[in-house]
Chains A and B, each alone.
Chain A
Amino acid sequence: MIDGVTLLLTLIKLLLIFAVVLTLAAYLVLAERKILARMQLRHGPNRAGPFGLMQPLADVIKLLTKEDLLPTSADKWLFLLAPGLAAITALLAFAVVPFSPPVTLFGREIPMVVCDLNIGVLYFLGLSSLAVYGVALGGWAANSKYSLLGGIRGLAQLISYELSMGLSLVPVVLMARSFSLTDIVYAQQGLPFMISNPVAFFIFIISVLAESRRVPFDLPEAENEIVAGFHTEYSGMRFGLFFVGEYINMIILGSMVTVFFLGGWLGPVLPPIVWFMLKVLAVAFVFIWIRGTLPRLRYDQLMHFGWKFLIPLALVNVLVTGAVLLWLRG
């Protein structure tokens, strides 16, 4: 039953998550630039505020005040819709992320998740499939050749890696015996799934990298090949939405890695929410680190890797995990 207080609490949680995630995304951009700069003998942004801490604000002001160009040959509505899709699908996924165990306030147990869906995993997979539309429509609607190539690349890449991502989560669901993210975290109280099923973890991390379109899988926007790929024609805040969507996506995928494999909020000494944040940030750091190290794959290599290596491996992993579980539970 939904009563007034629950509704209010949900709204508060929504607002909180919205604010925190957007701020985090903005500072993740800064962090990425700073960390990459450190790896590359540079300083990174250091003009706006102390240590460049006001840089995200400056960027937002810049993007908001820039002219919003609409190419004459573009499909207007889709062109305007696509960046929104990219950002919204990423944001919506936070609804099912459990940040910490339920807390009790004024004698009332409040779950620290907007909506503990019993099919949370499917919801997350569904949303990340929808995210493809942002890329594909954005690339197609701009009616530019580079955008089109980027859009096609994005489409093919996201769909391919969607599969291996889904398949790598099957063992997790098997082991946790639940589709609910909260239950999945509780199932890792003994041992995080990263250790008990490293193969699934490995496949998931790679798929996540591909899903977030980051190096070495940044083909949809490979600037050295197709200028900026699907968002070549975007300017101002619409470009900003794609950009911020990408970083929100990085946070959500980091959260998913944390929930599915790193044991979510579980950890000694520190409060659960801190553990959760630490783990998410650690995953984000690894993403940034990879960006500073690896070159980019080629389109055909990407496809081969996805279809001929990751998906078969994921399938075998599902089979093996299932068999082992069956044997263990007798």
Chain B
Amino acid sequence: MEHYKISFEDLRKLVGELLKCKYNVVSQSADGKKFIKINSESELNLNPANKPTDISMKEYFLPKSESLFFYKRNKDEIELIDVNINENKTVIIGAKPCDAAAVPVLSKVFNWDYKDEFFNSRVDKTIIIGTACRYKDSFCFCSSVGLSPDSEKGSDIFLVPLKDNFYLMKIITEKGKIFTEEFSWLSMEKTDERPEKASPEFDDSKFEYINVKTWLDENFSNDFWDGAGELCLGCAQCAYACPTCHCFDIVDESCGYSCGRRVKNWDSCQFGLFTKHASGHNPRDGQSKRYRQRISHKFKYYKDRFDEILCTGCGRCSRGCPVSINILEILQDIEECNKQ
């Protein structure tokens, strides 16, 4: 792995150059609430101490609403029109470890049986420049789900802050290497300087995942769930803010008689409609059952099937929950149940 030293100013210059070369450049917005496509180098918002955005960056791989194909009806014939997914190349700069790690986690489900060309083509065309994280609040728990504030998982290039507004730039993947070669004019020097790791203050574990998994394996039916889901109102803030939640619904929308499209929209297991059968029967007929599904999918089913935890510990679901349900507290409660 190659290590370079690069200044913040040069990273800005890189952004300017990428924009000239018609790349989409995505960074945290100035208010830090979401990831946006920026239009000038001055908009680059890159600070390891930034709080995770309110909404994750998954929309750049899995848009909230995505056309799959269009149709036209001419008398008796129906013509199908493919969607052109050849978007410009994208560079996401300033993804936190809890943002970047979600991409390889999601790739597993999108390539498990059917290979999702929409998701895959976006991932192929995106360079993720991750940044070490030096933010911490009572909702973060990356270190408990196998990540850390210095985790490079999912990043093609990874930046770690050095002194005086410099960054250590680690080239992680082949894709990242090819990308940096394209911009060889960048004043990057190879360096032996190594930054300090995140202090324990940022990197402490809040629970042992194995305890949660062990309990979940045995307790599909347990009174615990009634209490856990009791106050959940059943909105999808948690799922839509989440970097790893990926459920979607496919519907047809017409624009009158003669044309329309098939479209894939974000969906959430927290909605009653999500599991409602055409007969009217709903196997998940209460919020507690839906909340159990959310926890079980993330911390048990996905692990069983894909050997990954479907959670990066970013804490977005907890920070944004209208009724302040804190998933970390729920997981700690589960760990406590397992000890008993």
A binds B: no
Chain B residues with a Cβ under 8 A of chain A: none
